[in-house]
A = this chain, B = another copy of it.
Amino acid sequence: MAQQQSGPRTVRAARGTALSTQGWQQEAALRMLSNNLDPEVAEHPEKLVVYGGTGKAARDWRSFDAMVRTLQTLKQDETMLVQSGRPVGVMQTHEWAPRVLIANSNLVGDWANWEEFRRLEALGLTMYGQMTAGSWIYIGTQGILQGTYETFAAVAAKRFNGSLAGTITLTAGLGGMGGAQPLAVTMNDGVAICIDCDPSRIARRIEHRYLDVEAKDLKHALDLAVEARDARKSLSIGLLGNAAELVPALLAMDAPIDIVTDQTSAHDPLAYLPIGVAFEDMAGYAAEKPEEFTRRSREAMAKHVEAMVGFQDKGAEVFDYGNSIRGEAQLAGYGRAFDFPGFVPAYIRPLFCEGKGPFRWAALSGDPADIAKTDQAILDLFPENESLARWIKMAGERVHYQGLPARICWLGYGERDKAGERFNEMVADGTLSAPIVIGRDHLDCGSVASPYRETEAMLDGSDAIADWPLLNAMVNVASGASWVSIHHGGGVGIGRSIHAGQVTVADGTKLAGEKIRRVLTNDPGMGVIRHVDAGYDIAADVAAERGVRVPMREGE
């Protein structure tokens, strides 16, 4: 057994094929827990914080040590129970059962608020698990890039025949999340004008090759954009300035914009630059006069949103990208703020109806060659899916691995199980040098109840019904996942979401193959039945075509 330590240290997943556990299922859990805390992966590894504010992989270092110790001796018919990042039990189960069961940050409804959560956290009784932080399947910023890519691919599919070639997208915000926008647009062969008021953000995105060029001014940006568009070349253009001024200016100029969205930090009025304030003065002003600042930033957002609606009136595709800018503009008195939709109902929900969602995997060998081989396997399996092929190729070229090599792409019902079984065969026949872990984010088609995002504006009004993620977790346990988690409050905060995750290990055994087939059928299957139940025709068609059973529609 490894020497036990009690405080912060550098953690990194083991590589290669030597096990420090009783089997690959346990080894995978140990490596992925460790990988989440790898300094390349985690934002604040010394505090066990992986990403997303305070999303943690373990409650504290003593709990981390106890989990490592327990995983190292855990048998093939035992299961470790984890309560908000702390191991609280080991029980005898069986071979088909998960090796780890996790419940993070869950609170009874009337107590499900940040205040009570922080109180309990301060007492050492809970931790914030976010989504993949506390369930040990975070893979770094590739996830954000891919999600953004997928959204723009869905825009392309809806309005532009599957490609953004020949279109210009206008957006703002090049921060932690928003910075993925320019690359996501160019990966879809489009042109993007990206406004940010912070010059350092523009410089950083160029340095990391997420953004191609910076324009000198508005006119320069538009000239570059039109030229690239006409040549049907992809190009991303940074533009320094205030979006609340520049977006209306572009509208006034009658700029030929096809798509408009925004990822400034509008959810927090103290982080959105008002009109007439210099970027350098922003932080001081917000701190000194927060109420005045809020009033003025909301006024600016109203102008910004009004211009977005103006572009929509002229025929552009316009959507809210999850930053609440519509709500803030409405607070400032702008009446048409909700004239354009949020991105989930507009683009993501149709994918959810097909059981599509963020399928991801990591190579336990640590060898990038294993991911290259799985990339090729995906291309071979789904040759007809062009957007998928574009992503896989570009990701192979552009994405830097953080921690264990990993890949993410969106696959639907009937696809995920195929990919998973293929990976398992590739482990079995030695094509891959070690097992693969297959998981997903919690914001999948049938695994989340989150009325401000993933389940906003459901057709039948069932936004807040949380039975679905719980059924998702239970059916994953019943199908043979390697570890399963139920979380509360990820993404949108305490009190606002309940969601479940699963990770399944392809260790090349026949049993793993059987488990993978069930888990990767049933898990996206939850997305299909959730949307059939809510009345979506696409989901009903998918269920009928692909044989997903819906008892209420049978035998009547």
Instruction: Point out residues on A near B: beta carbons under 8 Å.
Output: 1, 4, 62-63, 66-67, 69-70, 79-81, 83-84, 86-94, 96-98, 101, 103-113, 116, 120, 123, 125-126, 449-451, 460-468, 470-471, 473-475, 477-480, 484, 486, 488-489, 494-498, 514, 518, 521-522, 525-526, 529-530, 533, 548-552, 554-556
Contact = CB atoms under 8 A, between A and B. Distances in A.
B465 A106 contact: yes
Contacts of A464: 107-108, 110-111, 116, 120
A480 B89 CA distance: 18
Given A96-B94, A464-B120, A474-B486, A529 B109 contact: no
A471 B103 CA distance: 6
Given A551-B66, A551-B90, A101 B460 contact: no
Contacts of A473: 470, 474
A475 B551 contact: no
24 contacts: A66-B551, A66-B556, A80-B551, A86-B533, A89-B529, A90-B549, A90-B551, A91-B479, A91-B518, A93-B522, A94-B480, A96-B96, A101-B474, A103-B467, A107-B464, A107-B465, A108-B498, A109-B488, A109-B489, A109-B495, A110-B496, A470-B470, A470-B473, A474-B477
Contacts of A449: 106, 108
B112 A112 contact: yes
A485 to B, nearest CB: 9
Given A89-B550, A465-B120, A478 B97 contact: yes
B88 A475 contact: no
Contacts of A98: 474, 478
A97 B474 CA distance: 10
Given A123-B461, A450-B108, A471 B101 contact: yes
A101 B69 contact: no
A474 B486 CA distance: 9
Contacts of A477: 474, 477-478
A88 B474 contact: no
Nearest to A529: B89
A5 B443 CA distance: 39
A86, A93, A526 — which one has the most chain B CB atoms within 10 A of its CB?
A93
A136 to B, nearest CB: 16
Given A90-B549, A93-B522, A125-B460, 15 more contacts: A62-B552, A66-B555, A66-B556, A81-B471, A83-B471, A87-B551, A91-B479, A92-B521, A93-B479, A97-B478, A97-B479, A101-B478, A103-B468, A120-B465, A474-B484
6 closest residue pairs by CB, A with B: A109-B112, A111-B464, A103-B467, A97-B478, A109-B495, A87-B551
B474 A103 contact: yes
A87 to B, nearest CB: 4
A442 to B, nearest CB: 13
A80, A106, A462 — which one has the most chain B CB atoms within 10 A of its CB?
A106
A116 B62 CA distance: 41
A335 B70 CA distance: 50
Nearest to A70: B551
A348 B527 CA distance: 41
A556 B488 CA distance: 31
B525 A91 contact: yes
Given A460-B125, A477-B478, A84 B521 contact: no
Contact of A84 (B66, B450, B467, B522): B467
Contacts of A81: 471, 475, 529
Given A450-B108, A451-B111, A464-B120, A93 B478 contact: yes
A448 B426 CA distance: 44
B466 A107 contact: yes
A70, A479, A549 — which one has the most chain B CB atoms within 10 A of its CB?
A549
Contacts of A109: 107, 109, 112-113, 488-489, 494-496, 498
A83 B551 CA distance: 12
Contact of A550 (B88, B548, B549): B88
B518 A475 contact: no
A83 B494 contact: no
Contacts of A489: 109
Nearest to A106: B466
Given A89-B550, A90-B549, A108-B496, A79 B475 contact: yes
A126 B484 CA distance: 25
A536 B473 CA distance: 30
Nearest to A79: B478
Nearest to A63: B552
B84 A497 contact: no
